[in-house]
Chain A
Amino acid sequence: MSATIVKLLESKNMSVTKVSEISNVPLSTLRNAIVKPIETWSIRVLNAFAIGLGERPGDLLNVLEAQPYILDINDDTQTIQGVFIADKETYQQIRTVVEVNHLEGWNPTKSDIQELLDEAISPDPQVAKRFEEVWEQEQ
C-alpha cells in the first residue's frame, strides 16, 4: 500500500472521494490503486492524485517514488555525495569517517558531508574541550 499518498492526502485535507470527483476517475479505480505499489499505477491514476493535490504529476511521482540511497565517493574528483574536498588529506580523513560510520548504518546526505568538511576546516572548540576533559581524567 502506498502510505505516502495517504499521508499526502491527509495533509491537504483531501479524500480519495474528493479526488475522484475532481478528476472524474472512478472511486473504485483510485481505491484499487492506492493499495498497490506505485509502479503499477496508470498515468490516469497518477494524474488524478496530482490534480487532487494541486501538484504536477512529475513532481508527485518524485515524491512518491522511494529514492534508493547511494553513497557516492569519487576518488578521481575528490567528492563525497557531490561535495568537493580540495585538500587530499582532509578528503581521506572524511572518507574514512564516512565509510566506517556507513558500515554502522549511517546514510549521510550532502549536507552531512558539508558539515563534516566545515568541522574539518574549522573544528568546534567544544569538541576539543570535551576530549581534553576526558583525557585529563584518564591521567
Chain B
Amino acid sequence: MSDWISKTLYSNGVLKNKLHIHDAAELEKKENELSARNALFLLQKSRR
C-alpha cells in the first residue's frame, strides 16, 4: 500500500495548503480567521 498520507504533508508534518504555510500554529490561526470571515459573509448574505 502506498504511503498516500505523506504526499499530503510537508516534511515537518504540516498539511499542505494553498497559503504555503509550514508552521502549524500559524496555519491554524489563519484557518480560524478565514473560516470566521467566510461564515460572517454567509450570515450577512442570508439576511439580505
Partner-B contacts on A (CB < 8 A): 89, 93-94, 96-98, 100-101, 104-106, 108, 112, 115-116, 119-120, 123-124, 127-128, 131
Let me know if A101 and B43 touch, CB within 8 A.
Answer: no
Point out the residues of chain B lying under 8 angstroms from A112, CB to CB. Answer: 33, 36
Point out the residues of chain A lying under 8 angstroms from B43, CB to CB. Answer: 93, 96-97
Number of A-B contacts (CB under 8 A): 49
| Alpha-carbon distance A75/B41, docked complex (angstroms) | 22
| Alpha-carbon distance A116/B42, docked complex (angstroms) | 13
Partner-A contacts on B (CB < 8 A): 28, 32-33, 35-45, 47
Let me know if A123 and B41 touch, CB within 8 A.
Answer: yes
Let me know if A131 and B39 touch, CB within 8 A.
Answer: no
Point out the residues of chain A lying under 8 angstroms from B38, CB to CB. Answer: 127, 131
Let me know if B28 and A105 touch, CB within 8 A.
Answer: yes
Let me know if A101 and B41 touch, CB within 8 A.
Answer: no
Given A89-B47, A105-B28, also A120-B40 (CB < 8 A): yes
